[in-house]
Structure 1
Amino acid sequence: MAEIKKGNNKFYIGNDENNPQAQITFNQQSNNQIDIDHTGVPEELGGQGIGSQLVKAVIDYARENNLKVSATCPFAKNVIEKHDEYQDVYSG
């Protein structure tokens, strides 16, 4: 499994936050709400569960910081809605 690193309003895989191999980005919506707006995993890394791992990184971050999560990114929304264990921080 690739190392997931925390960037500025993102989690990513790769050596450079500005040119990541894969990433998930989010925006602060309010003091206690973030929205996942993009998940990007290139085709050559597809099918390895990396996108789901990136979603989990945001969920863990939200829990650690007492935040709620929404997802305008269709991929992230789908992953979150399939996992009952993510519902404690999901706000739809």
Structure 2
Amino acid sequence: MAEIKQGTNKFYVGDNENNPQAEITFQKQGDNQINIDHTGVPDELGGQGLGSQLVKSVVDYARDNNLKVTATCPFAKSVIEKNAEYQDVYSG
């Protein structure tokens, strides 16, 4: 599995957060909430669970920082809604 690194309002795979191989981005929504607005995994890295790992990175970040998560990104929203373990931070 590729190493997931933390950037500015994102988690990513690759050597450079400005030109990542794969990424998930989020924006602050007030003081205690973040919104996942984009998940990008190229076809050559698809099918390995990388997108789900990126979502998990944001969920773990939210837990560590006492934040709630929403998702306008359809992929992230689907992963979070299907995973019972993520419901503690999900605010729909």
Percentage of identical aligned residues: 78
Structure 1 stretches of 5 or more lacking a match? none
Matching residue's letter, 1:13 = V
Between the aligned partners of 1:79 and 1:17, the Cα distance in structure 2 is: 23
Show the 5 A alignment for 1:1-92.
1-92=1-92
> For 1:41-86, what per-residue CA distance to the aligned partner results, in whole angstroms no more than 9, with x for missing partners?
0000000000000000000000000000000000000000000000
Question: TM-score normalised to the size of structure 2?
Answer: 1.00
Question: What SS class does the counterpart of residue 75 from structure 1 fall into?
Answer: helix
Between the aligned partners of 2:30 and 2:6, the Cα distance in structure 1 is: 20
Question: TM-score normalised to the size of structure 1?
Answer: 1.00
Cα RMSD, aligned residues only: 0.2
The number of residue pairs the alignment matches comes to 92
Between the aligned partners of 1:30 and 1:50, the Cα distance in structure 2 is: 28
Structure 1 runs of 4+ aligned residues shifted over 4 Å read none
> For 1:1-52, what per-residue CA distance to the aligned partner results, in whole angstroms no more than 9, with x for missing partners?
1100000000000000000000000000010000000000000000000000
